[in-house]
Amino acid sequence: MSAELSEAEAETYIGEHCFTAGRPHLVGVELEWLLRFAGDAAAPVGSEVSESVVVPLEADPLPRGGRVTREPGGQVELSSHPAEGLAACVADVRSDLAVIAAALAGHGLVIEGGGVDHRPPVIVVDDPRYRAMEAYYTDKQAAYTLMCGTASIQVNLDAGEEDGVLGWRRRWALAHRLGPVLNASFANSPTLEGRPSGWKSTRQTMWWRLDRTRTRPVEGGGDPRAAWTRYALDAGVLCFRREVPEPWDPPPGLTFRSWLRGACAERGPTMDDLRYHLGTLFPPVRPRGWLELRMIDAQPGEDWTVPLALAWALFDDPAASVAAWEATEPLIDGGGHPPWQVWERAARDGLADPALRAAAEACFAAAGAALDRADVPARVRTAVRGFAARYVERGRCPADDRLAAASQEVPS
């Protein structure tokens, strides 16, 4: 067993590891996909099929460095290898996705880019972490939906330089300013249990319904390292790891800070416990040395390239970054981050919200210009412009298409 950790050691570790300064050059993406039978989209894919087909893909990195994992409900996740720029990242992911699709097709399976599954949520991956999560959350509907029936896109970007337009402090603030715009633009989960939920991004709303000590945005203002350290230590302990077959359920009401201060008689926390705890925090923007943008619903087909390209351009192109900052100025409060109401409006209304639509239009225009300046495949530039024409410039998001299709399926 590792040595017990002090509160000062925990604070130092978090502060030193949440942002790694340096010139931005790496980009990555994590794509979650719902798994379906090609001939029967309503049929559940049980644990036996999931294990026999997907687990072999998890064993080794794919040819372009990506790794496959399974979410609790059997969703397939591809985590790309960090790439030197957008073009390399897109090429790597396309190649690795082709390997996944071919392996699944041999068993009559396909992956689908939807934010929320219409099938009943069922846990198919037996893991002590997921059993602890299941027990921890009091809102069981939200917990089961998120764990077993949602899919998202997570864009990973370097934290940034020490100072300036591409500095990590400014990029941290920009990530929060852009968060509601990204959520609204790519909202793609307007239903729950097969019926309209009243939200364009039901997936994001489910996060808000869970334990907000680990899902709300980190508060703005002040030193980002100090803010993230407070957030992390004041969050509840989700998984209290024990030897199998002991359950991982934590003592009720235990936060990591109270654990450090001796609130748990069973044992004190170790550095390994802290590292694990940091991976159980789910704010829409999460610092892991780099920045994780976690507020984007999964997209159909190759539209996963659009939020990836948009975020890369708005963060790594200095002119586009300035334009995005200016475009999001009307959305922020006195603390420098969007207030809670803006995040709620993004999830509920998508780009039907006038302020979010205006910000999205300006951001897509700035990103389009940046992509024209960069060595980016024409296919990616076309995808971004096509998405803007179909949705952003019309005040729509992919959720609106799903709602329209659902209304046509309901008998009059």
Per-residue pLDDT tens digits for 208-222: 999 999 999 998 778
pLDDT surpassing 90 at residue 95: yes
> Does position 385 have pLDDT exceeding 90, yes or no?
yes
Contacts of 174 (CB under 8 A, 6+ apart): 314, 315, 321, 324, 325, 328
The reported pLDDT for the residue numbered 101 is: 97
pLDDT at 273 over 70: yes
What's the pLDDT band for 9 if we cut at 50, 70, 90?
Answer: very high
Residue 412 has a pLDDT of 42
- C-alpha span between 85 and 92 (Å, rounded): 11
Six-digit token pair at 129? 């972490």
Mean pLDDT of 92-114: 97
Mean pLDDT of 16-22: 96
Q: Where are the beta strands (DSSP E) in 163-316?
A: 191-192, 195-196, 285-287, 290-297
**Mean pLDDT along residues 385-390:** 98
Given a contact cutoff of 8 angstroms between Cβ atoms, the answer to whether 385 and 393 are in contact is no
DSSP H helices, 212-304, are 212-215, 224-234, 256-260, 271-278
Q: What is the mean pLDDT of residues 3-20?
A: 96
- Quote the CA–CA distance of 217 and 227 in Å, as a whole number: 11
Q: 20-212+276-404 adopts what CATH topology?
A: Creatine Kinase; Chain A, domain 2 (3.30.590)
Q: d(Cα 349, Cα 395) in Å, to the nearest integer?
A: 10
What are the domain boundaries of the chain?
20-212+276-404
Mean pLDDT for 23-30 is 96
**328 within 8 A of 166, measured Cβ to Cβ:** no
pLDDT at 175: 98
Q: What is the pLDDT of residue 411?
A: 47
Which of 140, 143, 148, 139 is CA-nearest to residue 121?
148
Do residues 179 and 363 touch, judged by C-beta distance below 8 A? no
* pLDDT of amino acid 242: 96
- The answer on pLDDT for 387 being more than 70 is yes
3-state secondary structure of 26: strand
Query: Among the residues of 317-353, which ranges form H helices?
Result: 318-327, 340-349
Amino acid identity for residue 391 in this structure: Y
**185 vs 347: CA distance, rounded Å:** 10
Question: What span, in angstroms and rounded, lies between the C-alpha atoms of 346 and 380?
Answer: 25
pLDDT in tens, 120-158: 999 999 999 999 999 999 999 999 999 999 999 999 999
Residue 233 binned pLDDT confidence (cut-offs 50, 70, 90): very high
Tell me the per-residue pLDDT of 178-207, one tens digit each, with 9 for 90 and over: 999 999 999 999 999 889 999 999 999 999
Check residue 1 and give its pLDDT.
Answer: 52
Note the pLDDT of residue 247: 94
